[in-house]
Amino acid sequence: MRKFVISVFAAVIVFLLVFSLIMRTKKPVEKEIVKSVTVRPVTNIEQQEEETVAVSEKNADITTTLITLQPNEILLNIIATDINGDTLDDQIISVKRSGVASVILITGIYNSDKAEYQRVSEIETGVTQANTFSFSVTDLIGDHSNVLVFTGMNNNGESILKAYKPSSFLRFKFNYDLIADLKTDGNIFIQQSDRSDAYSMFKTQGESYPIWVYSSDTSRSTESLDQIQTMWNWSFADKKYVVVSETRVSGKKIAANELNRILDGTAETFENFLSGLWYKTPSSGNNLRYIFFNTEDKEIILSFDTTQELYGWTASSLTKNGIHITSMSKSINNLIRQFNITLNGLDEIKLRVNDDVKMYIKEETLWDGTYRKISLKASSYKQQTDSRLLNKIESESQIWTTPDNMSVTIKKSQFFITNDERNSSGIITETMINNETLLEFRTLKGESMLKGHYKPELEMTDTDDSTKETLLLYPVNISIKGFSLTGEAPVRFERTIQK
């Protein structure tokens, strides 16, 4: 009997050794990983169907999705999250598909048996302007459940927000329930607030986040900027978001001709209106915030105290009473900011900022609010009435020259720059800031060496038969506090006037 036990024990040990050797020599199955390129397609749908999207490898943002893409799909973005509550990360991706106008959201549930992601849901979002699209997964209701939320704009300039709550957690039988379906010609915001420590510890539910919708008041005339503010909130009885309150928000009246001029249906006109420096009201002292829209160089600069944030202006989309701007930080990779701007007056706008960081910002951020444009005709930026300096440098016959042999004519508050290869023209405005004379050059045609504000210095050297004049233009930066030299070399003009 003892020999029999020993024999069985030895056989078990031999079996385990052989099994271990077989498992070591067996090669694991390699899973193909689909690498995709994140691109922002042209919003013109016809162009998307006819043209091939070309992406530079140097500038492309490479991401990876484990959901197999179809040949006619272009990956836009990815979120990895446990959407079905099985403690395994799933993936939700946004794609553009040829022949489909709007962005599509695809949910892929991880199948642990097959070690792959299975497509279980596709949502055609209705968002046709892909550059405005963003989505996230958040506990919108406050019951510790994940809700898929996306926002964006369609080709009619309407803002869209939809929220989907997972309704089935059976194995690979996954569905969404639409709990919020909102559309407006204004703006939509989710008011996110702090929840209690008990909620964080899963001891209690939290308050749901209300959704605010701003839309035009259709009961008033088309020239009215009055809006209807609607608050939507979660209803446990209806199992969806319902209207809680409606309030009319009085808007300011704008002269019809000026309104039509600024809102003429083209983004370029509104961008030109924005061009310049704006400051937030009410603000004073160290609380001063201001935004500079550099339309020509497609840049947006946010300034507060001694800090500045620089963003590249990537895309613009018109709304009924304003514009939606998409920008990307030039110092933080992949930080995208959405600026929703509403026209309040000829020198006043209402601004709301949303960061595309896969979470929703509270209804009011530090940059949200009303802004007024800094006018060079204001008290500290008085217009120079006698134009003494302009009178001195203007002439139809006496032409200025530059060190690189370009000819410059200044007359009737206009400038003309020519050489054998190119020509440009624009207007000159003379202003007084802090009792200093500045010249502002605005190019209207062609490319010019003169852009923005300059501090001029006019030097004269007399001889027996002529006077040599040298005009030095020092570039300056304009702010609410005044102006400062940029440190760049001055632009130099020279001419000789015979006596």
pLDDT tens per residue across span 379-419: 333 333 334 677 778 875 678 888 888 888 888 778 888 87
| pLDDT at position 134 | 87
| pLDDT at position 29 | 39
DSSP labels for 205-261? --PPPPEEEEEE-TTS-TT---EEEEEEEEETTTTEEEEEEEEEEPPPP--HHHHHH
Report the distance separating Cα 112 and Cα 118, nearest Å.
10
- Residue 467, token pair as written in the block: 């006077």
The residue to which tokens 């420096």 are assigned: 277
Q: Using an 8 Å Cβ cutoff, are 351 and 369 in contact?
A: yes
Q: Using an 8 Å Cβ cutoff, are 40 and 130 in contact?
A: yes
| Residues 380-410 as b or e (16 or more Cβ within 10 Å = b) | ebeebeeeebbeebbeeeeebeeeeebebbb
Q: What is the four-CA torsion angle of 383, 385, 391, 396, rounded to 10 degrees?
A: 80
Q: What is the four-CA torsion angle of 381, 387, 388, 392, rounded to 10 degrees?
A: 130
- The enclosing H or E element of 315 equals strand 307-319
| pLDDT at position 383 | 38
Mean pLDDT of the chain: 76
Q: Is residue 48's pLDDT more than 90?
A: no
- Residue 317, token pair as written in the block: 């989309």
> Could you tell me what percent of the chain has a pLDDT over 90?
11
pLDDT tens figures, 428-485: 877 777 778 888 887 777 777 787 888 888 888 888 788 888 889 998 887 656 678 8
pLDDT (mean) for 477-497: 80
Contacts (Cβ under 8 Å, ≥6 apart) of 160? 125, 126, 127, 150, 151, 152, 153, 154, 182, 183, 188
Burial class (CB in 10 A: 0-12, 13-18, 19+), 425: middle
Please tell me which of 88-97, 248-257, 259-268, 460-469 the model is most confident about, judged by mean pLDDT: 88-97
DSSP label of 287: G
Q: Is residue 422's pLDDT more than 80?
A: no
Report the distance separating Cα 9 and Cα 307, nearest Å.
75
Is pLDDT larger for residue 26 or for residue 467? 467
CATH architecture of 388-498: Beta Barrel (2.40)
| pLDDT at position 180 | 93
Q: Is residue 251's pLDDT more than 50?
A: yes
- The enclosing H or E element of 17 equals helix 2-25
| pLDDT at position 19 | 59
Q: Which residues, listed in sequence order, are joined to residue 111 by a DSSP beta bridge?
A: 116
| pLDDT at position 33 | 37
Q: What is the four-CA torsion angle of 257, 261, 265, 270, rounded to 10 degrees?
A: -140
| pLDDT at position 211 | 92
Burial class (CB in 10 A: 0-12, 13-18, 19+), 411: middle
How many residues in total does the chain contain? 499
Local confidence band at 22 (pLDDT 50, 70, 90 cut-offs): low
The residue to which tokens 């089935």 are assigned: 168
The residue to which tokens 């083209």 are assigned: 266
CB-side exposure of 371: number of CA atoms within 13 Å? 28
Contacts (Cβ under 8 Å, ≥6 apart) of 395? 409, 410, 411
Local confidence band at 124 (pLDDT 50, 70, 90 cut-offs): very high
| Amino acid occupying residue 481 | K
| pLDDT at position 181 | 94
pLDDT (mean) for 316-331: 85
* pTM metric for this prediction: 0.51
